Homo-oligomer: A and B are copies of this chain.
Amino acid sequence: MATLREIAELASVSVATASRVLNGSAEKHPVSQDVRASVRAAADTLGYTPSATAQALKQQRSKIIGVIASDILDPYFAEMTRGIEIEAAKFGYVTILANANRDPEQERTKFRVLREHQVSGIVFCGSDIEGSPGTAQLAREVNLAVRAGTRVVALAPRGFDSTKIVIDNAATAYELTQYMLSLGHRKIAFIGGIPGLSAAEQRIVGYRDAMFEAQAPAQVLGLTGMSQESGKRAAEELTASTQLPDAIVCTNDEVAVGVLAHLWTAGYKIPEDVSVAGIGGTRGGAVFGLTTMTLPLVELGGLAARYIATAGGSSDVPAPPSFELHIGSTSAPRGQSD
């Protein structure tokens, strides 16, 4: 790979000048048109590719955003990471993706590795698992980093002192449940979640609140998982019992699809026999016409990326202020499975 020095030599200018022409600061320090042209020509003939590594070392900041996703195969997080990547690219940033398999230990090691790579910031996609062994340890480490100036943003409820961009999970579930109630359903079951997973627990809270208000009997088969398989298993359990509910609200689209899968193969009609709803509005449920609360997943990711890419970038704020942004659930339920 051609270096600036070689370019400079070929164009008979100094490396400083070559740098100014090829990478940026030609405004701060003017370079004549002639020189510019010859430098660019030299760069072309030699096939110059700037070394992002050297730039990062010099500037103490690589144009990389680290992403730690709870489960990369879950469309919920996949959408977020896509949002991050798209927005990051607009700022010339690139994303390093790490999958944590919902394991705080893995999150911790990935967090470290990402920091070693001098990333501009780190985004956590996915919420806390309270009570899990590594959770507190991770939080301590993250908080230390945040205080040291590392830009961290959590796209979910997290026990970090970092910037957070979170959806109001309780409100979302509340609205969805209300919607199902408004359709005339009374017996509405709730399925899904993982013990200690804040986001999931908040959704159960929202569901309970709505049911309580309507004086309808709540039935929570929660904490059964967040995957399609877990949804399927829970649905099997439900259909094995004496009486099917009028409707099933699921903690996310994946679980809902699993429920749908079982109900369908068991011969039930949706929504005639039972209504099913999910949360997320991911591509996964779209093809089934799943009723779901559409969440701005891609936009959330974009927000996170933009925050990292811009905060303290050209501005002169040394310590980017951590803030907490709550996205209300503004979307209305949509779909045909209700």
Contacts and interface: CB of A to CB of B under 8 A. Distances in A.
Contact of A72 (B81, B98, B287): B81
Interface in A240-299: 257-258, 261, 264-265, 283-284, 286-289
A148 B144 CA distance: 42
A53 B118 contact: yes
Contacts of A118: 51-53
Interface stretch (A36-44, A109-117, A303-311): A109-117
A54 B57 contact: yes
Interface in A52-102: 52-54, 56-57, 62, 64, 72-73, 75, 78-79, 81-82, 85-86, 94-99
A221 B288 CA distance: 21
A228 interface: yes
A72 B82 contact: yes
Given A64-B117, A228-B286, A265-B289, A96 B94 contact: yes
Q: Helix, strand, loop or mixed for chain A's interface?
A: helix
A50 interface: yes
A73 B64 contact: no
Given A49-B112, A57-B53, A72-B78, A85 B64 contact: no
A43 B72 CA distance: 34
A52 B95 CA distance: 16
Contacts of A288: 261, 265
Contacts of A62: 53, 117
Contacts of A99: 82, 85-86
A118 B64 CA distance: 13
Contacts of A203: none
A115 B50 CA distance: 9
Given A53-B53, A257-B287, 6 more contacts: A51-B57, A228-B287, A258-B287, A261-B287, A261-B289, A284-B284
27 contacts: A49-B112, A49-B116, A50-B116, A51-B118, A52-B117, A53-B62, A53-B117, A62-B117, A64-B96, A72-B78, A72-B85, A73-B78, A82-B99, A85-B98, A85-B99, A86-B99, A94-B98, A94-B114, A94-B117, A96-B96, A228-B286, A229-B286, A231-B287, A261-B288, A261-B289, A264-B264, A265-B288
